[in-house]
């Protein structure tokens, strides 16, 4: 991981785009779904929802799910969605990969994230568990801070940082209301993605996270 991140910093042109997401409806949806998840033995975090929303955004903005083939001088657009999920362990940062996120349910993604995280922490990841990711997500909400500038998992061209959810006042329909708000930060390789494309991706992601019922349409 250290070698790959060093290559990333010396190769990709890192740039950051940050946005604010009102996740009040997502918080409510997760609360409603937690009981059913517990019945099935699943710990339901926000990451599966974010991953499914990211799939839809990547389908509409495919440059963010691409890579640059340095030797061939080509851009490779991926039509599959394998997400590296950053896990902090005693041995450092690892990024096991959830394969075919677009083809799995929220509960299946939650189970796989939990299983891979446990393997990362116990040092039992296989080589196949950390290969072939097309996009990465790092959840830094538990560490505090306002937002982060994550390092791209080269040769990917973007990584999404998600941060802690805070209850803060916002204006809704002309009235002050307490809302659940989360910051997201997209670090991207400026050689392939410019600010407009990064903004388009985060806008698509934001739209689904703010109205998570749209995930039903994405799954249809």
Whole-number Å distance between alpha carbons of 195 and 16: 9
Q: From the centroid of its chain, how far is CA 157?
A: 13
Residue 183 CB burial class (10 angstroms; 0-12, 13-18, ≥19) = buried
Determine which one of 17, 88, 163, 190 is catalytic.
Answer: 190
HSE-up of residue 137 (Cα within 13 Å, Cβ side): 25
Maximum separation of any 2 CA atoms in the chain, in Å: 56
Decide if 163 is catalytic: no
- Cα dist. 206→60, 106, 107, 200 in Å? 13, 18, 21, 10
Say if residues 27 and 181 touch (Cβ distance below 8 Å): no
The catalytic residues are: 190
């Amino acid at each position: 991981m250290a070698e790959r991140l060093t290559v990333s910093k010396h190769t990709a042109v890192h740039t950051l785009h940050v946005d604010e997401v009102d996740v009040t409806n997502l918080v409510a949806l997760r609360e409603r779904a937690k009981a059913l998840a517990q019945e099935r033995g699943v710990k339901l975090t926000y990451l599966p929802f974010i991953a499914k929303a990211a799939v839809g955004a990547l389908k509409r903005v495919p440059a963010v799910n691409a890579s640059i083939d340095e030797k061939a001088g080509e851009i490779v657009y991926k039509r599959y969605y394998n997400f590296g999920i950053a896990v902090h362990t005693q041995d450092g940062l690892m990024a096991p990969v959830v394969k075919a996120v677009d083809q799995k349910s929220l509960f299946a993604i939650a189970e796989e994230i939990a299983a891979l995280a446990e393997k990362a922490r116990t040092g039992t990841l296989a080589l196949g568990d950390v290969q072939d990711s097309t996009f990465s997500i790092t959840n830094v909400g538990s560490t505090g801070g306002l937002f982060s500038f994550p390092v791209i998992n080269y040769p990917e061209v973007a990584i999404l940082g998600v941060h802690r959810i805070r209850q803060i006042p916002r204006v809704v329909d002309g009235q002050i209301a307490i809302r659940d708000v989360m910051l997201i930060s997209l670090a991207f390789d400026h050689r392939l993605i410019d600010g407009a494309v990064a903004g388009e991706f985060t806008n698509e992601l934001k739209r689904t996270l703010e109205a998570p019922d749209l995930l039903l349409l994405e799954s249809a």
